């Protein structure tokens, strides 16, 4: 017992109670959200670039965009499943769906989204590498569906938005954790997708036109700036709600979450902003790749902090 | 019929008979609780008081746990009880994140969410919840709050207008709890109004559970156990609690009374 602790005379102190739950949603859920942001972000940013530039300006986008999305979405789905205490019962979401739950709606949308991305990834891959499995019936069938890619792409882009946002609605439905408010988290999810979407595409943009790469830098700079401003607003001006203020004490008053939060802000937001802003004028590919990597690391750290600190607060 | 619960904190003496009765009746595993009595000390010596607050599921009319459950494992019964169907639960812990009262736990034996059901199985058989029966001072009052002549309705009406009135926990959450308190104050009902200071517990210094659910239920076990069955000894509860003085270092201070 630390006899040096001073307790205010007016302060009530818990003297007997049970142990409270620790972190319930931990690193797997952080990884889940991070991977989903990449999976949807590359599609949203890819669509923006295709709207602004010719396909020839980004020769590998058609096959690499759905492939990156496919890998990221499978990481997301894998860790969603692994985090369940009864993963084999995941099928209950499809056979006994409860539609007021954002988990249910999200699971259905994410499944549909992943299915369409899988088809796009296959078409993109077999079209790009026309010699691979030339005599395979499956590959022939996929190559025969080539036109489906362009037909389904607008729908996939449309679906990417709710898929990236639904986790924010789950967090909003978690009414015990007031830090996670629906409008703020929803916008943060979109910005996160734009951040890591542009960061991921930066890593494959070596053969792209300079205009396309500058657009990537613009998306990265704008999204990290807006997201950073939102975090700062929540960090400094969330004093209206007692629970939110108590939650933010975990990042205000030092300790590991304080360090993690500011490491996230520097790596994921401040460094990429200045590098991307510079690259909008004078391009520096190496520095942009560095910014892309720090963005990916920083977003993971930021998500982890924001996910865990509300779970530290005693609810009862 | 809408079943509700009221605890008169003026009567509660912190004997924990309700807590023990609940554990026994519902076979609540070690490290978990459906009902607990929290002790809170207020003031500075010698002007101190100790308050006792029994805490359980509030059976909210607008239950966040029911809303967030993706498979309707948490559902309403016709009598207003928020019940759990363990066989349907997927163990996503969404309900644990949603409940503003921290009343739901992950059962370490079934690895599904569980909580107080107002002893729905006993009510179905015409019995009172175990905690109500066990209370030696009748501080727990249970009944139909839609029936004006019921004991609980009359108790609420009698106490609404004087003293601290009839309160619920966290009314700002708009969950419409069906669990009421008489004689409670901000210190006893608001978890932000009191501190949990490490080392100031009466009988232990455990503040947080290290594991949620079964600590031996690894990621691989989660897939294999439903098919091949559990392969570890559930009687071992090592790792359930984060106990700094445990294991090899020295004997821990738990249970020092």
Instruction: Annotate chain B with DSSP letters as a single string.
Output: --EEEEEETTT-----HHHHHHHHHHTPPTT--SSEEEEEEEEETTEEEEEEEEE-----TT-HHHHH-TTSSEEE-TTS-EEE-TTT-----HHHHH-TT---EE-TTT-SEE---SSHHHHHTTPPPHHHHH-TT--EEEEETT-TTSHHHHHHHHHSSSTT-EE-S-GGG----SEEEES--HHHH-GGGEE--TT--SS----BBS-SS-TT--HHHHHHHHHH---S-TT--TTSB--TTTTTT----TT--
Given A11, A16, A85, which is nearest B39 (Cβ)?
Answer: A16
Distance from CA of A310 to the nearest CA of B (A): 10
Q: Is residue A4 part of a domain?
A: no
Half-sphere exposure (Cβ direction) of B192: Cα atoms closer than 13 Å: 13
Report the distance separating Cα A98 and Cα B207, nearest Å: 34
Instruction: Find the closest chain B residue to A29 by CA distance.
Output: B92
Q: In chain A, positions 134-163, which contact chain B (CB-CB < 8 Å)?
A: none
Report the distance separating Cα A129 and Cα B6, nearest Å: 70
Distance from CA of A314 to the nearest CA of B (A): 6
The length of chain A in residues reads 316
Contact call for B194 and A11, based on CB within 8 A? yes
**pLDDT value at position B220?**
79
Report the distance separating Cα A43 and Cα A61, nearest Å: 10
**pLDDT value at position B222?**
79
Residues of chain B within CATH 3.30.70.20 domain(s) are: 3-193
Testing the interface with B: which of A5, A12, A78 to mutate, by most B Cβ within 10 A?
A12
Contact call for B106 and A85, based on CB within 8 A? yes
Contact call for B88 and A96, based on CB within 8 A? yes
Contact call for A87 and B39, based on CB within 8 A? no
For the question of an ipTM over 0.95, the answer is: no
In B, which residues are within 8 Å of A86 by CB distance? 89-91, 111-112, 222, 226
Report the distance separating Cα A56 and Cα A49, nearest Å: 11
Whole domain around residue A197: which residue ranges?
27-312
Given B71, B99, B111, which is nearest A92 (Cβ)?
Answer: B71
Neighbours of A145 (CB within 10 A): 15
In A, which residues are within 8 Å of B43 by CB distance? 9-10
**pLDDT value at position A135?**
87
- pLDDT per position in chain A (316 positions), as tens? 444 555 565 678 898 888 888 899 999 999 999 999 999 999 999 999 999 999 999 999 999 999 999 999 999 999 999 999 999 999 999 999 999 999 999 999 999 999 999 999 999 999 999 888 888 999 999 999 999 999 999 999 999 999 999 999 999 999 999 999 988 999 999 999 999 999 999 999 999 999 999 999 999 999 999 999 999 999 998 777 888 988 999 999 888 999 999 999 999 999 999 999 999 999 999 999 999 999 999 999 999 999 999 999 989 8
Distance from CA of A273 to the nearest CA of B (A): 34
**pLDDT value at position B246?**
43
Instruction: Find the closest chain A residue to B92 by CA distance.
Output: A84
Q: Is residue A284 part of a domain?
A: yes
Q: Does B164 touch chain A (CB under 8 A)?
A: no
> What percentage of chain B carries pLDDT values higher than 90?
66
Contact call for B193 and A12, based on CB within 8 A? yes
- Spell out, as residue ranges, where chain B has pLDDT lower than 50: 234-235, 239, 242-257
In B, which residues are within 8 Å of A93 by CB distance? 70-71, 90
CB distance A15 to B196 below 8 Å: no
φ, ψ of residue B51 to 5 degrees: the values are -110, 150
**pLDDT value at position B252?**
37
Q: Does B201 touch chain A (CB under 8 A)?
A: yes
The length of chain B in residues reads 257
* Tokens standing for residue B29: 């595993």
3-state secondary structure chain A: CCCCCCCCCCCEEEEECCCECCCCCCHHHHHHHHHHHHHHHHHHHHHHHHHHCCHHHCCCHHHHHHHHHHHHHHHHHHHHHHHCCCHHHHHHHHHCCCCCCHHHHHHHHHHHHHHHHHHHHHHHHHHHCCCCCCCCHHHHHHHHCHHHHHHHHHHHHHHHHHHHHHHHHHHHHCCCCCCCCHHHHHHHHHHHHHHHHHHHHHCCCCCCCHHHHHHHHHHHHHHHHHHHHHHHHHHHHCCCCHHHHHHHHHHHCCCHHHHHHHHHHHHHHHHHHHHHHHHHHCCCHHHHHHHHHHHHHHHHHHHHHHHHHHHHCCCC
**pLDDT value at position B211?**
78
**pLDDT value at position B257?**
30
**pLDDT value at position B251?**
36
Partner residues linked to B144 by β-bridges: B3
DSSP-derived pairing of the beta strands A12-16 and B194-195: parallel
**pLDDT value at position A197?**
98
The pLDDT tens digits of the residues spanning B67-89 come to: 999 999 999 999 999 999 999 99
Q: In chain A, positions 83-122, which contact chain B (CB-CB < 8 Å)?
A: 83-90, 92-93, 96-98, 100-104, 107
Q: Which of B95, B117, B131, B161 is nearest to B3 (CA)?
A: B117
Q: Which of B73, B93, B216, B68 is nearest to A22 (CA)?
A: B93
Contact call for B71 and A97, based on CB within 8 A? yes
Contact call for A246 and B192, based on CB within 8 A? yes
Q: In chain A, positions 20-59, which contact chain B (CB-CB < 8 Å)?
A: 20-25
In A, which residues are within 8 Å of B51 by CB distance? 12
**pLDDT value at position A218?**
97
**pLDDT value at position A287?**
97
- CA separation (Å) from A131 to A126, A139, A140, A150, B137? 8, 10, 11, 22, 83
Q: Does A12 touch chain B (CB under 8 A)?
A: yes
Given A13, A85, A175, which is nearest B64 (Cβ)?
Answer: A175
Question: For position A136, which CATH number holds?
Answer: 1.20.1630.10
Contact call for A175 and B169, based on CB within 8 A? no
Q: Is residue A230 part of a domain?
A: yes
**pLDDT value at position A9?**
59
Contact call for B90 and A246, based on CB within 8 A? no
Q: Does A176 touch chain B (CB under 8 A)?
A: yes
Given A20, A84, A103, which is nearest B91 (Cβ)?
Answer: A84
- The C-alpha angle B12, B16, B22, rounded to 5 degrees, equals 115
φ, ψ of residue B178 to 5 degrees: the values are -110, 35
Report the distance separating Cα B254 and Cα B202, nearest Å: 9
Q: Does A130 touch chain B (CB under 8 A)?
A: no
**pLDDT value at position B228?**
75
Contact call for A86 and B90, based on CB within 8 A? yes
Q: Is residue A18 part of a domain?
A: no
Distance from CA of B203 to the nearest CA of A (A): 7
- How many CB pairs below 8 Å do chains A and B form together? 209
Domain B3-193 has CATH 3.30.360.10: no
Q: Is residue A243 part of a domain?
A: yes
Conformation bin of residue B255: beta by default, left when phi > 0, alpha when psi is -120 to 50: left
In B, which residues are within 8 Å of A7 by CB distance? 44, 195, 197, 200
Contact call for A175 and B197, based on CB within 8 A? no
**pLDDT value at position B221?**
79
Provide the domain count of chain A: 1
């Amino acid at each position: 017992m630390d006899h040096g602790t001073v307790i205010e005379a007016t302060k009530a102190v818990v003297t007997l109670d049970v142990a409270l739950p620790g972190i319930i949603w931990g690193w797997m859920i952080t990884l889940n959200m991070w991977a989903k942001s990449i999976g949807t972000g590359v599609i949203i940013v890819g669509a923006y670039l295709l709207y602004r530039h010719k396909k020839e300006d980004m020769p590998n986008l058609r096959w690499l965009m759905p492939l990156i999305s496919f890998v990221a979405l499978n990481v997301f789905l894998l860790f969603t499943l692994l985090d369940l205490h009864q993963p084999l019962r995941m099928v209950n979401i499809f056979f006994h769906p409860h539609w007021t739950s954002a988990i249910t709606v999200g699971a259905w949308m994410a499944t549909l989204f992943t299915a369409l991305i899988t088809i796009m990834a296959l078409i993109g891959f077999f079209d790009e590498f026309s010699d691979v499995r030339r005599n395979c019936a499956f590959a022939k069938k996929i190559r025969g569906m080539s036109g489906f890619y362009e037909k389904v792409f607008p729908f996939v882009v449309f679906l990417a938005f709710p898929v990236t946002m639904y986790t924010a609605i789950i967090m909003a439905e978690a009414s015990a954790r007031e830090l996670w408010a629906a409008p703020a988290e929803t916008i943060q999810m979109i910005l996160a997708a734009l951040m890591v979407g542009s960061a991921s595409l930066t890593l494959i943009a070596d053969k792209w036109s300079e205009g396309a790469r500058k657009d990537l830098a613009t998306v990265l700079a704008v999204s990290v700036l807006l997201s950073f401003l939102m975090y700062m607003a929540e960090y400094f001006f969330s004093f209206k709600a007692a629970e939110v203020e108590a939650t933010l004490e975990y990042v205000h008053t030092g300790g590991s979450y304080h360090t993690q939060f500011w490491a996230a802000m520097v790596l994921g937001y401040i460094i990429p902003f200045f590098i991307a802003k510079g690259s909008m004028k004078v391009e520096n590919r190496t520095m942009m790749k560095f910014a892309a990597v720090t963005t990916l690391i920083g977003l993971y750290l930021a998500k982890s902090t924001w996910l865990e600190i509300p779970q530290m607060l005693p609810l009862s | 019929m809408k079943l509700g619960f009221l605890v008169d904190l003026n009567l509660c003496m912190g004997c924990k008979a309700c807590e023990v009765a609940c554990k026994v009746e519902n076979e609540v595993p070690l490290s978990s609780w459906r009902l607990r009595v929290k002790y809170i000390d207020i003031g500075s010596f010698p002007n101190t008081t100790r308050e006792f607050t029994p805490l359980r599921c509030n059976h909210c009319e607008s239950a966040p746990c029911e809303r967030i459950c993706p498979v309707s494992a948490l559902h309403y019964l016709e009598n207003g009880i928020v019940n759990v169907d363990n066989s349907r639960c997927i163990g996503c812990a969404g309900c644990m994140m949603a409940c503003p009262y921290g009343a739901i736990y992950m059962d370490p034996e079934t690895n599904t969410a569980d909580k107080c059901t107002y002893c729905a199985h006993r009510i179905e058989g015409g019995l009172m919840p175990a905690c109500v029966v066990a209370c030696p001072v009748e501080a727990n009052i249970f009944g139909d709050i839609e029936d004006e002549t019921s004991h609980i309705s009359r108790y609420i009406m009698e106490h609404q207008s004087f003293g601290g009135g009839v309160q619920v926990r966290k009314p700002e959450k708009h969950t419409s709890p069906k669990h009421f308190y008489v004689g409670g104050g901000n210190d006893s009902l608001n978890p932000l109004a009191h501190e949990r200071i490490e080392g100031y517990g009466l009988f232990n210094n455990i503040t947080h559970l290290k594991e949620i659910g079964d600590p031996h239920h690894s990621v691989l076990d989660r897939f294999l156990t439903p098919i091949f069955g559990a392969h570890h000894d559930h009687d071992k509860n090592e790792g359930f609690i984060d106990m700094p003085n445990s294991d090899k270092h020295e004997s821990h201070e738990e249970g020092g009374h």
